[in-house]
Amino acid sequence: MNCTKCKTKAAIKIPRHHAAFCRGCFTNFVHDQVARAIKSETMFGKDDRILVAVSGGKDSLALWNILLKLGYKADGFYVDLGIGGYSERSHTMVRQFADTIGVPSGAVLHTHTVEREEGAGIKELAQLVHRPTCSTCGTIKRYQFNRAAVVQEYDVMATGHNLDDEAARLLGNVLHWQEDYLDKQGPTLPASVDGFAKKVKPLYRLSERELAAYCVVNNIQYIVDECPMAQGARTLLYKEVLNRLETESPGTKQYFYWGFLEKQRKKRASSEGMLERDQALLHPCSACGQPTTAEMCSYCKLMARAKREVSG
Ligand code: Q46
Ligand code: ZN
């Protein structure tokens, strides 16, 4: 099979676009998909400072690379969770990328070390507060990522969620009719109030398989193993189901998720009203000042509980 663009020998087939590309044209295709996502969802401009959450996996490192290649000012933010060999290997991948591609392109890598800043690794913290590891991890990562973006005056926070992630999340939200989540699921979440940075997902037009291929084609080394704490059995099941549908009928995932975005766009006027209502419920956390709907934000509650457990 030949490349749809330049007619030389193709290296990868993209059935959902009825296309095949050689390595160079595939890289251009990926860059073009991200550029279209940034433009159509008004994510950011060339003067904005972007903070990219990097985990060492294929999606986040591909995202950082693509943004730098497209000429954006993108820095990295890595959270060292203190999960033994997994954290060591993922940190190595992030550092290696930063040293060879990020820093030479003018980018900076920020690192937050949970053992040092929160006083214990993520597993120990979760045990202390009697909560599942992933929910403790999510609270800390969301809080510290937002805090780093706000304190260091970034215009926007970017994460590496891809089409498979977003389609699986949408399927879960639809199956359980989580209307609140459905209203807020999208590639751009505006900065709601002072203290909450804007959040974007520039990879929502690309699949997991395409991002893995992009890393291979562009010599980006990434950590292949999943976090050992990952229990997302349900998300994996949704991804499997969607992959089966995709094999039978290429394009299903994108019709499903992009179709949802199209409908959401039409509803935008009313959802903006909803966002305003949500904002009215927010006020500063009594401990740290970050916006929250409760008296104290979930991060401060978690840390207060951990301290009580240690001292009591
Ligand atoms: S990193 Fe954290 Fe994930 Fe590991 S502990 Fe769970 S939430 S699985 S994305
Ligand atoms: Zn707080």
Q: Is the C-beta atom of 136 inside 6 A of ligand 1?
A: no
| Predicted pLDDT of residue 282 | 85
| Predicted pLDDT of residue 142 | 95
Place 14 in a pLDDT band, splitting at 50, 70 and 90: very high
Taking a C-beta distance cutoff of 8 angstroms, is the pair 61, 215 a contact? Answer: yes
Looking from the CA of residue 133, the nearest atom of ligand 1 is: 5
Q: Across all residues in the chain, what is the average pLDDT?
A: 93
How many other C-beta atoms lie within 10 A of the C-beta of residue 63? 28
Burial (CB count <10 Å: 0-12, 13-18, 19+), residue 266 = exposed
| Predicted pLDDT of residue 234 | 86
Looking from the CA of residue 55, the nearest atom of ligand 1 is: 1
Stretch 111-139: mean pLDDT: 95
Whether 272 shows a pLDDT value over 80: the answer reads no
Stretch 257-265: mean pLDDT: 92
Q: What is the pLDDT of residues 158-182, one digit of tens each?
A: 999 999 999 999 999 999 999 888 8
| Predicted pLDDT of residue 275 | 58
Looking from the CA of residue 227, the nearest atom of ligand 1 is: 4
| Predicted pLDDT of residue 269 | 61
User: pLDDT over 70 for what percent of the chain?
Assistant: 95
Stretch 26-33: mean pLDDT: 98
Q: Whose CA is nearest to atom 5 of ligand 1?
A: 134
Q: Whose CA is nearest to atom 6 of ligand 1?
A: 134
* Sequence-distant (≥ 6) Cβ neighbours of residue 307 within 8 angstroms: none
Stretch 283-302: mean pLDDT: 93
Stretch 32-47: mean pLDDT: 97
Q: Is the C-beta atom of 159 inside 6 A of ligand 1?
A: no
How many other C-beta atoms lie within 10 A of the C-beta of residue 142? 15
Q: Is the C-beta atom of 137 inside 6 A of ligand 1?
A: yes
User: How far does the centroid of ligand 2 lie from the alpha carbon of residue 312, in Å?
Assistant: 22
Stretch 210-219: mean pLDDT: 97
Of 122, 137, 225, best ligand 1 pocket probe by most atoms within 8 Å of the beta carbon? 137
Q: Which helix (H) or strand (E) holds 301?
A: helix 298-311
Stretch 8-15: mean pLDDT: 95
Whether 253 shows a pLDDT value over 60: the answer reads yes
User: How far does the centroid of ligand 1 lie from the alpha carbon of residue 109, in Å?
Assistant: 20
Query: Measured between alpha carbons, how far is 286 from 143 in angstroms, rounded to an integer?
Result: 15
Query: Measured between alpha carbons, how far is 40 from 103 in angstroms, rounded to an integer?
Result: 29
User: How far does the centroid of ligand 2 lie from the alpha carbon of residue 150, in Å?
Assistant: 14
Query: Measured between alpha carbons, how far is 128 from 307 in angstroms, rounded to an integer?
Result: 9
Looking from the CA of residue 122, the nearest atom of ligand 1 is: 5
Whether 193 shows a pLDDT value over 80: the answer reads no
Place 249 in a pLDDT band, splitting at 50, 70 and 90: very high
| Predicted pLDDT of residue 273 | 54
Whether 260 shows a pLDDT value over 90: the answer reads yes
Residue length, the chain? 312
User: How far does the centroid of ligand 1 lie from the alpha carbon of residue 5, in Å?
Assistant: 39
Looking from the CA of residue 138, the nearest atom of ligand 1 is: 7
Q: How far apart are the first and last CA of the chain?
A: 68
Q: Is the C-beta atom of 230 inside 6 A of ligand 1?
A: yes
Whether 277 shows a pLDDT value over 70: the answer reads no
Place 37 in a pLDDT band, splitting at 50, 70 and 90: very high
Q: What is the pLDDT of residues 126-160, one digit of tens each?
A: 999 999 999 999 999 999 999 999 999 999 999 99
Place 265 in a pLDDT band, splitting at 50, 70 and 90: confident
